[in-house]
Amino acid sequence: MNRFDKQKLRRQVLQQMDGCRYATDEDIYREIDRAILREGHVCYGTLPEKRNLREQIFHSIRGFDLLEDYLKDDSVTEIMVIGASKIFIEKNGKIEKTSTSFSEEEEVYRLIDLMLAPTNRIVNEASPIVDGRLPDGSRVHIVLPPVSLDGPVITIRKFQKGGMTMEKLIAYEEFPPELAEILACLVRSRYNILISGSTNSGKSSLINALAGYIMADERIITIEDSAELQFYHVDNLVRLETRNANVEGMNEITMNDLIKASLRMRPTRIIVGEVRGAEAVSMLQAVSTGHSGSFSSIHANSCRDALRRLETMVLMGMDIPLRAVQGLIASSMDILIHLGRLPSGERRLLEISEVLDFDGTEYHLNPLFHYERRKGAEGALKAEKLMVHTDQLVSYGQYDGYIEAMEKFNAGKKDVAEQK
């Protein structure tokens, strides 16, 4: 069986069905079987090969063609398509090239149309970049020529089924289990938390996990470019997503618009999936005017670098002196968490710092935890200091729990050191 045979059979099945959009899965399978029988028993190899061909044709009509198996594989976290000839996947933190490929770019464009149809988003030569969401919640990013020089590019970020939890992150060894109760105290005490890291370092996963500590009776507003946060235990949840401009360049809904709208929805917490530009102004104003306990994420190389990038984003949307911006950031952000990947490709929580103040020249940070790298051995997260601003811990009844959790963390690290 070759690629031509597959496309030939696919066309025959669609012709027989006369493009009927209301056909059931059983109808499609029945027509595929008839098409294979019409072409003869010998052409398509053994019975297992025919079954494989049958599934491929079905997925090319009703599913996502060659990507269907990777989308169903829970160990695959990223799928990358470059033109018709190259498909890469990320599996267990490692990127590998697959043995499969599309026969022609027309198949890739047909797949793109199928992915974007339910999202009401448009991608074409005039607007060649678009973000979307698949039915299972996976995030899809598409770039077309002429921006992409090697044909259409599809990047799919998959997410954990059932949402990411703290238990899953601990099982993946992204940070020690003793840290979980410390983070729980910070969330329950309504500290504003900014999570930084590189692409695919686990920022959204950590936000999802931290949200598990939010009380079920709170009203949460989530704001994202492309919705990927999944909160299951909060009933009073409003999920907002941006909208691209239409073909006339009108009716765009930006992150800034959504943050402003959220302030009229009586939120308990506002969670901004990721700040990338001028919306940082509205986000900071929201969290500094009574909506404490909010989360957000940003691309950065360290906790301190996250503050610098936030400065740049605020200045993109507001013409005010830099020192005023820095003062606003210092008074709005409470806790900085930085994530990254080790040379082995494994994700790790690398740093947690408390924002103390801004003295007019520099931010004063109180490093709480730091990942200590060791030559020739696995590193470990190490506790540095206790928090300085503990009023919220006291106000929300979390202070004793925080101190106890810190003692357990240090005791756990001490036991590990003694065992070594």
What is the pLDDT at residue 332? 93
| CB-facing half-sphere around the CA of 138: CA atoms within 13 A | 25
Rounded-to-integer distance, Cα 173 and Cα 171, Å: 5
Could you tell me if 269 and 294 are in contact, meaning their C-beta atoms sit under 8 angstroms apart? Answer: yes
Rounded-to-integer distance, Cα 259 and Cα 83, Å: 37
199 vs 25: which has the higher pLDDT: 199
What does the block give as tokens for 189? 């005490």
The strand ranges marked E within 107-246 are 129-133, 139-143, 153-157, 193-197, 220-224, 237-241
Neighbour-count burial for 164-179, b at 16+ CB within 10 Å, e otherwise: bbbeebbeeebbbebb
Given a cut of 70, whether residue 181 has pLDDT beyond it is yes
Name 15's Cβ contacts closer than 8 Å, sequence gap at least 6.
none
Mean pLDDT computed over 75-97: 91
What is the pLDDT at residue 416? 43
CB neighbours of residue 184 within 10 Å: 18
Rounded-to-integer distance, Cα 73 and Cα 91, Å: 9
| 243 sits in which H/E element | none
What is the pLDDT at residue 385? 94
Given a cut of 90, whether residue 368 has pLDDT beyond it is yes
What is the pLDDT at residue 45? 61
- Supply the mean pLDDT for the chain: 85
In the DSSP assignment, the letter for residue 121 is -
In which band, very low, low, confident or very high, does the pLDDT at 196 lie, cut at 50, 70 and 90?
very high
Given a cut of 50, whether residue 213 has pLDDT beyond it is yes
What is the pLDDT at residue 317? 80
Name 13's Cβ contacts closer than 8 Å, sequence gap at least 6.
28, 31, 32, 35, 57, 61
What does the block give as tokens for 220? 């949460």
pLDDT digits (tens, 9 = 90+) for 139-156: 899 999 999 999 999 999
Given a cut of 80, whether residue 415 has pLDDT beyond it is no
Given a cut of 70, whether residue 3 has pLDDT beyond it is no
Could you tell me if 121 and 246 are in contact, meaning their C-beta atoms sit under 8 angstroms apart? Answer: no
Of 129, 134, 6, residue with least CA distance to 71: 134
Could you tell me if 303 and 365 are in contact, meaning their C-beta atoms sit under 8 angstroms apart? Answer: yes
Given a cut of 80, whether residue 401 has pLDDT beyond it is yes
| 50 sits in which H/E element | helix 47-61
Q: In what order do the strands lie in the sheet with 153-157?
A: 94-97, 86-91, 76-82, 153-157, 139-143, 129-133
Given a cut of 60, whether residue 41 has pLDDT beyond it is no
- Alpha-helical runs (H) found in 94-215: 105-116, 166-171, 178-188, 203-210
Could you tell me if 263 and 284 are in contact, meaning their C-beta atoms sit under 8 angstroms apart? Answer: no
Of 203, 195, 210, 229, residue with least CA distance to 165: 210
3-class secondary structure, 93: coil
Which of these ranges, 84-88, 99-103, 338-342, has the smallest mean pLDDT?
99-103
pLDDT digits (tens, 9 = 90+) for 221-280: 999 887 788 888 889 999 998 887 776 777 889 888 998 899 899 999 999 988 988 889
